[in-house]
Structure 1
Amino acid sequence: MAVSDGAAFRRVLDGLGLAIVGGDVPPGSDDTVDRIVERTGASRSVVREATRVLVSLGMLTAGRRVGLRVRPRDEWDLLDPQVIRWRLESPDREAQLADLLGLRLVVELEAAARAAAHSTPRETAELRATAQALAGATAARDRDGFFEADRRFHGTVLRLAGNAMLARLAGVVDEALRERVPDDHLRWSVASSGVELHSAVADAIAAGDSDGAARLMRRIVDPGASTRAPQGRAHRVAMVESPPGMGGSSASVSAPIDE
């Protein structure tokens, strides 16, 4: 696909995806390739390719007689990073943030605990190096470097859990991390506090401390958790609802952590 076609494809795909996610085109609505071509000014090949992607994501059905039809949200691939990004850019943003936080509270805490049980010294050295890279990017206020180091850290924890299905969720976690890349003085200050927690998670995993790794990861994923009522591990795994956002906790790593 040529560069110009690639730009047109992205424009058409994002436009259709956002229209569906935002409710401008509700479930059950019908459309055709010809009408989309007319509306967007894109070529038929570009529109066909964009609709194929939406069909693969469970957002559209395609048939000769009915054309294109929007499917209900519970049939969408809600774990696909593209769908997540569209939801974050839509009126559904707050619900998507809450969904991401709930998923991370279930998945990343367990991944940290499993990583502590399974990781080798070489793997934990890699994790510690990534935590150091995150610290360096934070000190330099390098947004791109921060995101890259943050996504590598969390992706590495998922991989070290020793479960291929957990590792496949790295793309979902990436979208949550993209949302919290600092962009002002206050958020950089909060990020600086979180850097110590990343190093502490790496240390707990290296020490084989599953409970400690999970507790510390919870403070990264949900910064306000340490100020709420004590949570046992069984409750922590079951918990799927918590307010979205960065939070404002700046407790040091050495502060007591309730369990």
Structure 2
Amino acid sequence: MSSRLHDLVVDTLGRRVVQGELAEGTTMLAEELEREFGVSRSVVREAVRALQSLGLVESAKRVGIRVLPMARWNVFDASVIRWRLAADAHGVQLRSLTELRAAVEPAAAELAARFGPDGLAAELIAIAGRMRAVGRAGDLATFLDLDIRFHALVLAASGNEMFAKLEGVIAEVLRGRTEHGLMPDHPHEEALQLHVDVADAILGRRPDEAREAMDRIMRRTVDEVQSVWAGRPRVHLA
């Protein structure tokens, strides 16, 4: 029970912060949170520690729990990404994530073709084939699982541990596109083929082709969703 209550407090307060309901500089008191959520002081304390680790709040003696500016947030954390996507009516978070993918994933595909283990390359081929089958069938839930696995494997196959650690970030943006209705009912045939092309180029040790195919996937992605953030100002952190 205490674990569920802890998760409830963290999730509720985290969403309030990233959605702006709790603005930067807002101060909360532990006693108020205990009453609101009907939880013990220890639950509040642990929840605040979790939010502090994400850079969303800080706790100061005789002051309370203060909401921090976005410049302090851990914007790569999966929970922060999920909360921001849920509140992302104008696509600003989706734009940032899509641009991150477009910068990183083609480079990862090139490195995977140069240095990736043969076993991972063979698995990519198998996944790409399954993606084509379930995509044509309109099974978006299975397609999403396979898509997440495919892109995680490309990052891992690059041999760059920094790229590999972006697995959770990529997974959240792919889930977000599906959950917020930004995926077509049936993935486009070109997109399905491009995943096969990426896998084949990696297996065949053709780095330039792997980069180009992944870049085309990213450009298709931008074309499909950029209307969501059209005209929105960019985020400049001081």
Corresponding position of 1:131: 128
Structure 1 window deviating more from structure 2 (96-105 vs 29-38): it is 29-38
Relative to 1, partners in 2 of residues 1:166 and 1:9: Cα closer, same or farther, differing over 3 Å? Answer: same
Out of 93, 96, 109, the residue aligned to residue 96 of structure 1 is: 93
* Separation in 2, partners of 1:113, 1:243: 25
Say whether the 8 Å CA contact 1:182–1:191 is kept in structure 2. no
Instruction: State whether structure 2 residue 67 is matched by structure 1 residue 84.
Output: no
Q: Cα RMSD over matched residues? A: 2.4
Out of 168, 173, 185, the residue aligned to residue 171 of structure 1 is: 168
Q: Deviations over 1:214-249 (max 9, x none)?
A: 1211222231679xxxxxxxxxxxxxxx9266xxxx
Q: Deviations over 1:105-133 (max 9, x none)?
A: 11111101111111233221011112123
* Separation in 2, partners of 1:183, 1:79: 20
Relative to 1, partners in 2 of residues 1:91 and 1:199: Cα closer, same or farther, differing over 3 Å? Answer: closer
Corresponding position of 2:235: none
Pairs aligned (count) = 227
Q: How many Å apart are 1:48 and its aligned residue?
A: 2.0
TM-score (norm 2): 0.86
User: Which residues of structure 2 form unaligned runs of 5+?
Assistant: 229-238
Structure 1 window deviating more from structure 2 (147-156 vs 134-143): it is 134-143
Corresponding position of 1:47: 44
Relative to 1, partners in 2 of residues 1:15 and 1:179: Cα closer, same or farther, differing over 3 Å? Answer: same
* Separation in 2, partners of 1:193, 1:130: 16
Corresponding position of 2:197: 200
* Separation in 1, partners of 2:142, 2:189: 14
Out of 112, 119, 122, the residue aligned to residue 122 of structure 1 is: 119
Say whether the 8 Å CA contact 2:136–2:186 is kept in structure 1. no
Q: How many Å apart are 1:183 and its aligned residue?
A: 8.8
TM-score (norm 1): 0.79
Corresponding position of 2:27: 30
Corresponding position of 1:69: 66
* Separation in 1, partners of 2:170, 2:222: 19
Relative to 1, partners in 2 of residues 1:107 and 1:224: Cα closer, same or farther, differing over 3 Å? Answer: closer
Q: How many Å apart are 1:80 and its aligned residue?
A: 0.3
Out of 10, 34, 37, the residue aligned to residue 13 of structure 1 is: 10
Say whether the 8 Å CA contact 2:137–2:186 is kept in structure 1. no
Corresponding position of 1:238: none
* Separation in 2, partners of 1:224, 1:51: 37
Say whether the 8 Å CA contact 1:98–1:244 is kept in structure 2. no
Q: How many Å apart are 1:15 and its aligned residue?
A: 1.2
4+ residue runs over 4 A deviation? none
User: Which residues of structure 1 form unaligned runs of 5+?
Assistant: 227-241, 246-259
* Separation in 2, partners of 1:15, 1:147: 26
Q: How many Å apart are 1:164 and its aligned residue?
A: 0.6
Relative to 1, partners in 2 of residues 1:244 and 1:65: Cα closer, same or farther, differing over 3 Å? Answer: farther
* Separation in 1, partners of 2:83, 2:214: 27
Q: Percent identity?
A: 37
Structure 1 window deviating more from structure 2 (139-148 vs 53-62): it is 139-148
